[in-house]
Amino acid sequence: MYDYVIVGAGSAGCVLAARLTQDPDVSVLLLEAGPPDANQNIHVPLGYLKLAGTELDWNYFSAPEPRCDGRRIPLPRGRVLGGSSSTNAMVYIRGNPRDYDDWGVPGWSWADLFPYFRKAEDNERGASDWHGAGGPLPVSEQRSGNAISRAWVEAAVQAGLPRNDDFNGECQDGAGMYQVTQRGGLRASAAAAYLHPATSRPNLTVLTHMLVHRVLFEGTRAVGVAASQLGHVQELRAAREVILCAGAYNSPQLLMLSGVGPADHLRLRELEVVLDQPAVGANLSDHAATYAVWGTEEPESLLLAREPAALEQFMATQTGPLASNLAEAGAFVRVEPGVPAPDVQFHAIPVQILEEGTADPEGHGMLVTPCLLTPETRGCVRLASDDPTARPIVRNDFYASERDLERMVAALRLMLEIGAQPAIAPYCTTGMVVPEDDSEEALRAHARRTTFAIYHPVGTCAIGSVVDEQLRVNGLERLRVVDASVMPVVPRGNTNAPTIAIAERAADLISGAAPLASVTSPAASA
């Protein structure tokens, strides 16, 4: 018997486990389906490229996407201590203040969340009006030194974008280098930042290789979970609450496996209905992205990471190609006239990635990917069967909204314009995967052929429909969801930092601590 049973040791689960066990009178059990984060490719930043499809990856795929040439799109998710923060590209982006204000949920506006972003942060630049220092989560400058990334920023400026040295500062618009969740050139996952410093506490128990099958109920009250480890099924009890932190795919899957979801769907999967809740698994929102790849004769890409000199450099100084987070540079832009905030984000990657990483690079080069920040399309997560080991069915339904496709075409035009500027010309000499031309038809075809999900799923247990303002599951007792699935809409940017901020605030809600005072900050005008 534990006070709290937390399911999932990803970004949110690690934060909650660390924060709740600061009270020595509270006992916490943290369950993770994957292994410990011992693989060295987690901690050497560029090493995460070797983790896809391994035991550290849930290795999900979407259902066939009807408007993307019927392709099943890869959906990698971290299955390890730290979750996807142990396998992601480490980009630190909070989103735009308007994102949280537009949720319209009391307690979850930008003014409410901004103090938690700062509480979590330990920015290499030091404390300021917009940043925190001394928090658990390191935020650092790029250490790779690759010339292509900085050349792309210069090309974006030549194309008319403003230069932006801090996407999390006064204004989000513009082009610049991303800050990353690293310390001293090593990945700073949520496990490294929050969980490992807390593991010596006697009131924290962490169990890995634990696949949770379902939440246990007595009536409408959650009392624990059933989980298996090495095939042995056991029941683990919670005296206070069960907290699902399994992510935007697995949290709704677990609710449905537990009898909480659309009643007709559950009955078809031969599951007993505890609560008919059609919103569970609905409202899936992710950033659709497309890409182009160029080759160059200049020996400047991250292929240099294969050279013995790169390993020697990293071992000596934790700099160079192996310190790269891959998505080193980027931009936030407005492609649709009159929008109140950026609607497209770019990631510039100084290496060729062909056939979604399944083909070898043909030489040095780069990849640029624009993604839609404010998609209108919504998908869903559903059960394939009542077997907890079965992968969920994920339908993104990209471009169900025609407006989404129109904005993607505009983003591709801007991508090509940046790629034609003098600063980046030496690194974009040969088109490897590019639109046939800049016609509407060619750009639409390119989008259908190359669109992928950029790994920012949210919304499937949204505040206001599935959970209340305290993140408690509506209609049930002693059950909460705390992860990216509670965001009603995907924010304008990468989702790791917002998930951590949500978990920081949730820890105060759960423990009964007074929430950090909401503020009107300079960033609130961004």
> Is residue 446 a contact partner of residue 436, using CB atoms and an 8 Å limit?
yes
Label the pairing between strands 2-7 and 232-244: parallel
- Provide the annotated active-site residues: 456
d(CA 183, CA 126): 14
Strand locations in 169-301 (E): 174-177, 182-183, 186-187, 204-207, 210-218, 221-229, 232-244, 260-261, 275-276, 288-289, 292-295
Q: Cα–Cα distance between 270 and 280 in angstroms, integer?
A: 17
* CA–CA gap between residue 245 and residue 191 (Å, rounded): 14
The length of the chain in residues reads: 526
Amino acid identity, position 461? C
Q: Is 106 exposed, middle or buried (0-12, 13-18, 19+ CB in 10 A)?
A: exposed
Identify the burial level of 1 via C-beta atoms within 10 angstroms of its C-beta, where 0-12 means exposed, 13-18 middle and 19 or more buried: exposed
How deeply is 403 buried, as exposed, middle or buried, from its count of CB atoms within 10 A (0-12, 13-18, 19+)? middle
**Residues near 348 by Cβ (< 8 Å), separated by ≥ 6?**
148, 149, 152, 153, 327, 328, 329, 330, 366, 367, 368
What the block records as the tokens of 190 is 């949520």
Angle between helices 496-511 and 110-120 (to 10 degrees): 100
Q: How many CB atoms lie within 10 A of CB 298?
A: 14
Contacts of 507 (CB under 8 A, 6+ apart): 15, 16, 19, 20, 513
Q: Determine the Cα–Cα distance for residues 328 and 312; give it in Å rounded to an integer.
A: 21
CA–CA distance, 439 with 445 (Å, rounded to integer): 10
